[in-house]
Structure 1
Amino acid sequence: MTTVLIADDQPLQRMGFKMLLDGTPGMSMVGEASTGAEAVRMVERIRPDVVLMDVRMPGMDGIEATRRIIGAGSRTRVLILTTFDLDEYVYAGLRAGASGFLLKDARPEELIAGIRAVASGDSVVAPSLTRKLMDAYLEDSASASPTDPSLATLSEREREVLEAIGQGATNTEIAQRFTLTESTVKKHVGRVLAKIGARDRVQAVIFAYDNGVVRPQA
């Protein structure tokens, strides 16, 4: 059973999410919060698998709430929901530790699939959208130089895989690029994430840009 906490300041929005989750086998809504601060407190108490986090809420917003939840070392993962696909707040949320984001007008099956993906440790930002986000909000990284010592622990192949991840490539595309099997790519990706301390591919993309492995496109 995947447990979900809904954090949104709109009662009708929370009700809609609740109805969807209640009607989905294997999903259980275990609480709802109307502010970021309330979400943080409830995560500490309930420890849900996933938080559906709205960005704009009164008082503490969803970005700061995400930062505090992840910063506390919680196993709970955060899936940000937003109205705009290239909203700078969404990128800030990913930087704060969210495992991805979806638009609020996503189809019900997309939302459920996103929750399951995040709960299983994956991310839900599509490769093409990842590229748009990184290119739109990481211009300042163009002059970045490697600073994280974990980068030096990567083998040559692992660094190539990290670069491909940063460019938004899927495992299938990486396998084709380097003439590897997908199972081998999965092993490389797992080792890369472990060495750089990234929870998922989204965090690996941010790491790649921050450390100059990938440059924003013009």
Structure 2
Amino acid sequence: MNESREIHVVIADDHPVVRLGIRMMLEMGEGIQLVGEAVDGESVLQLVEERQPDVVLMDLRMPKMDGLEALKRLHTAWPRVAVIMLTTYNEDDLMISSLRAGARGYLLKDADLSVVLHTIHAAARGEMLMQPEMMERILTRAERTLSPPVASKSHRLSLTARERDILAAVARGERSKEIAVRFVVTERTVNAHLASIYAKLGVDSRAAAVAVALEQGLLSFEE
């Protein structure tokens, strides 16, 4: 997006207190404008069509249409809109599914101001960004629930060692420039590796690549 203009944000959550808290945070952030609020999954789709925001902060659990279904429809109709899912600590089951469906990342509903603003700016730039504790929870759950056939050696060999390293860096929220510095290569090389990863996993985004890799046991806590 054009860095010179404000980031337009929509909030979708059926809890008034949550919306109020986020609204107050956005008012304290520079370069961010709240352009609408939705109280359920159906209304957020209409609001996005009318307001064309850059970023949507969306609850996973909403009436009429849950956040996951709304995310799938939103991502299909407006793929350029970055969606950040609002979650609590008891919603691990939906995290990987949401990443695969196109979510750019997650925010805990009790995240502090700096985390909320940083995540919005990162999402608007096209980055995938998740709080470290959130990624740790997802990785832990994936490792615990993987079935032996999915986590088999043959699946692990579908990505090269360097591709797995780069994907792990992506899962930590690192940008291509940061990954290039880490592995002493050019950004063009990093992007070539990402293109190869996307092709092998059958995905079209960093978030979806991380989700599929988690499901297939390709990511772990090992550096």
Task: Indicate the TM-score class for this superposition, using the shorter chain for normalisation.
Answer: 0.7 to 0.9
Stretch of structure 1 that moved more, 33-42 or 80-89: 80-89
Match of 1:30 in 2: 35
> What does residue 203 of structure 1 align with?
208
**Could you tell me which residue of structure 1 aligns to residue 105 of structure 2?**
100
Pair 1:191–1:45, CA change in 2 (3 A): farther
> Which 10-residue stretch deviates more, 158-167 or 60-69?
158-167
SS across alignment from 1:57: coil
Partner of 2:121: 116
Cα deviation digits, residues 20-60 of structure 1 (max 9, x gap): 22232200011110001111121122221100001111110
In the aligned structure 1, how far is the partner of 2:36 from the partner of 2:59?
Answer: 14
In the alignment, which residue of structure 2 is the partner of 1:190?
A: 191
Structure 2 contact 100–212 (Cα < 8 Å) conserved: no
- Structure 2 residue aligned with 1:46: 51
Q: Where does residue 60 of structure 1 map in the other structure? A: 65
Segment drifting more, 35-44 vs 91-100: 91-100
Contact kept, 8 Å, 1:8 with 1:35, in 2: the verdict is: yes
Give the distance between the partners of 2:90 and 2:122, measured in 1 at CA: 19
Residue by residue, what CA displacement relative to the aligned partner does 1:139-189 show, whole Å, maximum 9, x if unpaired?
335423778xxx97x7x575343454477595768866xxx32xx264443
The superposition leaves residues 82-112 of structure 1 with CA deviations (integer Å, 9 ceiling, x where unpaired) of 1216622233322221111011111111101
Partners of 1:126 and 1:188 in 2: CA distance: 26
- 5+ long unaligned stretches in structure 2: 1-5
Instruction: In structure 1, list runs of 5 or more residues that go unmatched.
Output: none
TM-score after normalising by structure 2: 0.75
Q: Which moved more, 1:17-26 or 1:131-140?
A: 131-140
Partners of 1:57 and 1:169 in 2: CA distance: 27
Name the TM-score, length of structure 1 as normaliser.
Answer: 0.77
Which residue number in structure 1 is paired with residue 3 of structure 2? none
Task: Report 1:81-160 matches (<5 A).
Answer: 81-84=86-89, 87-127=92-132, 129-137=134-142, 139-140=145-146, 142-144=148-150, 156=160, 158-160=162-164
- CA distance 1:188–1:204, shift in 2 (3 Å): farther
User: CA 1:32 to 1:86, structure 2 compared with 1: closer, same or farther past 3 Å?
Assistant: closer
Distance change (3 Å), C-alpha of 1:11 and 1:129? closer
Q: CA separation in 2, counterparts of 1:143 and 1:168?
A: 26
The one-letter code sitting in structure 1 at the alignment partner of 2:19 is R
Counterpart for residue 18 of structure 1: 23
Across the two proteins, how many residue pairs are aligned to each other? 206
Deviations 1:56-81 (Å, cap 9, x if unpaired)?
A: 11110111111111122421011111
